[in-house]
Chain A
Amino acid sequence: MTEPTLYIGVGHAMRRDDGVGPWLAEELAKRGQRAATHEGDGAALMALFEGEERVTLLDATQSGAAPGTLIRIEADREPLPASFFRNSTHEFGLAEAVETARSLGTLPPWVHVYGIEGEEFGFGEGLTPKVAEAARQLLDRLACPTHP
Chain B
Amino acid sequence: MTERRIKVDALARVEGEGALYVKIAGERVEKVEFRIFEPPRYFEALLRGRAAAEAPDITSRICGICPIAYIMGACQAMESALGVEVTPEIDALRRMIYCGEWIQSHVLHAAMLHAPDFLGLHDAIQISGVAPDLVRKALRLKKLGNTLMEVIGGRSVHPVNTRVGGFYAAPPEAKIAALIPELEWGVEAAREVALDFAAFDIPEDEEDYTFVSLIHPDEYPILHGRIGSSRGLDIAVPEFEDQFVETHVPHSTALHGHMADGSSYLVGPLARYANNFDRLSPAAQQTARDCGLGDVVRNPYKSIIVRMVEVQYAIEEALRLARAYVPPAPPHIATPPRAGRGAGCTEAPRGLCYHSYEIDGNAHILSARIVPPTSQNQPQIEADLHRVVSANTALDDAALKWRCEQTIRNYDPCISCSTHFLKLTVERD
Contacts and interface: CB of A to CB of B under 8 A. Distances in A.
B129 interface: yes
Given A99-B125, A100-B125, A100-B128, A90 B157 contact: no
Contact of A104 (B123, B136, B143): B136
7 contacts: A44-B143, A89-B65, A90-B418, A96-B124, A103-B125, A103-B129, A104-B132
B272 interface: no
Interface string B1-39: 000000000010111000000000000000000000000
Interface stretch (A35-43, A69-77, A126-134): A35-43
Contacts of B14: 62, 86-87, 121
Interface stretch (B80-88, B108-116, B176-184): B108-116
B130 to A, nearest CB: 9
B125 A86 contact: no
A92 B128 contact: no
A78 interface: no
Which 5 interchain pairs have the tightest Cβ spacing?
A103-B128, A87-B13, A91-B420, A99-B125, A100-B128
B64 A40 contact: yes
A121 B157 CA distance: 21
A90 B125 contact: no
B123 A96 contact: yes
Interface of B: 11, 13-15, 64-65, 108-109, 112-113, 123-125, 128-129, 132, 135-136, 139, 142-143, 146, 156-157, 417-418, 420
B206 to A, nearest CB: 28
A100 B124 CA distance: 7
A62 B420 CA distance: 18
Interface of A: 39-41, 43-44, 46-47, 62, 86-87, 89-92, 96, 99-100, 103-105, 121
B146 A44 contact: yes
Contacts of B15: 87
Nearest to B422: A91
Q: Which of A62, A100, A121 has the most CB of B within 10 A?
A: A100
A87 B418 CA distance: 9
B125 A91 contact: no
Contact of B125 (A40, A89, A96): A96
A92 B113 contact: yes
A90 B156 contact: no
A47 B143 contact: yes
A92 B123 CA distance: 9
Contacts, number: 69
Given A43-B142, A46-B139, A89 B418 contact: yes
Contacts of B156: 40, 44
A43 B129 CA distance: 16
A100 B128 CA distance: 6
B342 to A, nearest CB: 30
B157 A39 contact: yes
Of B128, B132, B420, the most chain A CB neighbours within 10 A belong to B128
B382 to A, nearest CB: 21
Contacts of A47: 139, 143, 146
A90 B11 contact: no
Contacts of B108: 41, 43, 90, 92
Contacts of B143: 43-44, 47
Given A41-B108, A90-B420, A104 B65 contact: no
B11 to A, nearest CB: 7
Given A47-B143, A87-B13, A92-B108, A39 B64 contact: yes
Contacts of B418: 87, 89-91
A103 B113 contact: no
Contacts of A87: 13-15, 418
Contact of B13 (A43, A91, A104): A91
Nearest to B15: A87
B424 to A, nearest CB: 15
Contacts of B113: 90-92
A44 B14 CA distance: 20
A89 B146 contact: no
Contacts of A46: 139
Contact of A103 (B109, B112, B132): B132
A44 B140 CA distance: 10
A62 B12 CA distance: 12
Nearest to B143: A47
Contacts of A121: 14
A40 B13 CA distance: 17
Given A44-B157, A86-B13, 20 more contacts: A41-B64, A43-B108, A43-B112, A44-B143, A47-B146, A62-B14, A87-B15, A89-B65, A90-B109, A90-B420, A91-B113, A91-B420, A92-B108, A92-B124, A100-B124, A103-B125, A103-B128, A103-B135, A104-B132, A121-B14
The listed residue with most B CB atoms (<10 A of its CB), out of A44, A46, A91, is: A91
A24 B156 CA distance: 22
A105 B65 CA distance: 26
Contacts of B142: 43-44
Contacts of A39: 64, 157
A104 B128 CA distance: 6
Contacts of B135: 100, 103-104
